Amino acid sequence: MCPVEQVEPAHAGDYRANGGEPRADREERPRRSRRTLVKTLVLLVVGMWIAFGIHGVMSYGHAYYKYRGFDPPKEAHGVSPGRLISVRFYSTALRQRRSFDVYLPPGYASEAAAGHRFPVLYLLHGSPGGASLFPDAADLGVDVDRMLARRQISPFLVAMPNGGDGSFRRDTEWANTPHGAYESFVLEVVQQMDSRFPTLARRRSRAIGGLSEGAYGAMNVALRHLNTFGIAESWSGYFIQERAGPFRHASLAAIAANSPATYVGSLARRLRRYPFHAYIYMGRHDKTAPGAAGFALELRRAGGRVTFEFVRGSHDWELWRKMMPRSLEYANRWFHSRTGWRRGGAAARAHPGQVTT
C-alpha cells in the first residue's frame, strides 16, 4: 500500500507562524484595533464634555435657585456671625414630621445662659421656595449680623418654617384648607420656639412677616390671631383670596374668612384691645400694588398702626433683598417700644402710620 501523502494547505506555514491566523489577517487586525481605540477615546472625550456641560448647567441652576442670581452671602470683615440651625418636630396639624430654621444672633449661648430672653421674628417664604431662601437669597443673616455689630438693632431670633407641600409649584397659602392645616402649623412653630428657646412669649415680642404668598400668609395669620402676634410685615403681598389653588373647592365663606381686605373692617373692637403694628411695602411696578394701598388704608381705619411704602422695584428678590434691613429695623423698633402698645384710640392717634411714595 502506498503511504498516504499529506498535502499542506497553501497557508499552512502562515497558520503555524501566527498561532493559527493568516498573515494578511494579522496585518488587518492591528489596524482595526487602532480604529476601535480611537473611536473609544473620541466617545470618551465627547461623553466627558457632555457630562461636564450637564454638571455645569445643573450647578448653575442649583446656584441660581439657591441664591436667585446673587453672590453667596459673605460676612463683612470684623463682623461676628450668627448661627443657623434646623429644628424638626412632629406636626399634629400636618400629621407628619416638619422643620423650621432658626437664626441665633452672635453671643446667643452666653446671653441665654445668663437668663436673657429674646423677641422672635417669624418669616414665611413664598412659592416656590423654602426657608433657606431668606439667608441665601435675601442676605438675612448677613444683614442681621451687620446691623447688630453697628448697634442698629438689638438681638432677636428669626424662625423660618418650611411650609412647602413637597411639590414644586403647588401653593399652600399658609392657610387651613383641605390641602393641609398650614395656618395651624405656623402656630405650632410658635409653640415650639417658646418651649425650646428662651423667648419672650408675648404678642408684643412676636412679629410675623413674609414675601409674596408668605406676605399674604403673614398678614392673614396675624390678623386671625391678634392675641399671638403684635407685629406683621407684608413684603409684596396680596390681601384677597381667590377660588384657586388650595381654595379651589372652598366655600365663599371660607374664602372671605381668609381675605384680610374683606374682614379687616370687622376687627376694630379687637384692634382696640390688641394694639397692632403693620409694615406693608410694594414695588411700584408690582401689579398688586393698588390693592395693597387700599388695604393699608382700611387697616388703619380699623385701628391698626400702619406704615405703607411704595418703593422702586418689582415683585422680585432684588427688591426683597434691598428692603431686608428696613424690614428688620421695623420689627426691632416695636420689639423695644415703650409707648407703642397702649390700648385704645389715644395710642392709635399717636401712631397713625404713614404713606411714603
Q: Does residue 17 carry a pLDDT above 50?
A: no
- Tens digits of per-residue pLDDT, 188-201? 999 999 999 999 99
Q: List Cβ neighbours of 284 (8 Å cut-off, separation of 6 or more).
A: 310, 311, 312, 313, 314
pLDDT category at 22 given cuts 50, 70, 90 is low
80-356 CATH? 3.40.50.1820
Phi-psi region of 214 (alpha: psi -120 to 50; beta: other; left: phi over 0): alpha
Strand pairing category for 157-161 and 120-124: parallel
Q: Which three cell numbers stand for residue 9?
A: 494547505
Q: How long a stretch of residues is the chain?
A: 357
Residue 103's pLDDT band (boundaries 50, 70, 90)?
A: very high
Q: Is pLDDT at 290 greater than 70 in this prediction?
A: yes
pLDDT (tens digit per residue) in 267-289:
999 999 999 999 999 999 998 77
User: What whole-number percentage of the chain has pLDDT above 90?
Assistant: 66
At 20 the pLDDT is: 52
Express each pLDDT in 58-84 by its tens digit: 443 443 444 545 556 666 677 999 999
Q: Which residue has the higher pLDDT, 139 or 325?
A: 325
Average pLDDT, the chain: 85
Question: Domain-by-domain residue ranges, the chain?
Answer: 11-67, 80-356
What pLDDT shows up at residue 4? 44
Provide the grid cell at 343: 390700648
Q: What is residue 38's three-state secondary structure?
A: helix
* pLDDT tens string 110-159: 999 999 999 999 999 998 889 999 999 988 999 999 999 999 999 999 99
300 confidence band (pLDDT: 50, 70, 90): very high
* Cell numbers for 107: 453671643
pLDDT at 292: 94
Q: What is the pLDDT of residue 62?
A: 40
Residue 64: predicted pLDDT:
40
**Neighbouring residues of 328: CB distance < 8 A, sequence distance ≥ 6:** 121, 143, 144, 147, 153
Element (H, E) at 286: none
Q: At residue 350, does pLDDT exceed 50?
A: no
**Terminal-residue alpha carbon distance, the chain:** 126
Query: Hey, what's the cell of 108?
Result: 446667643
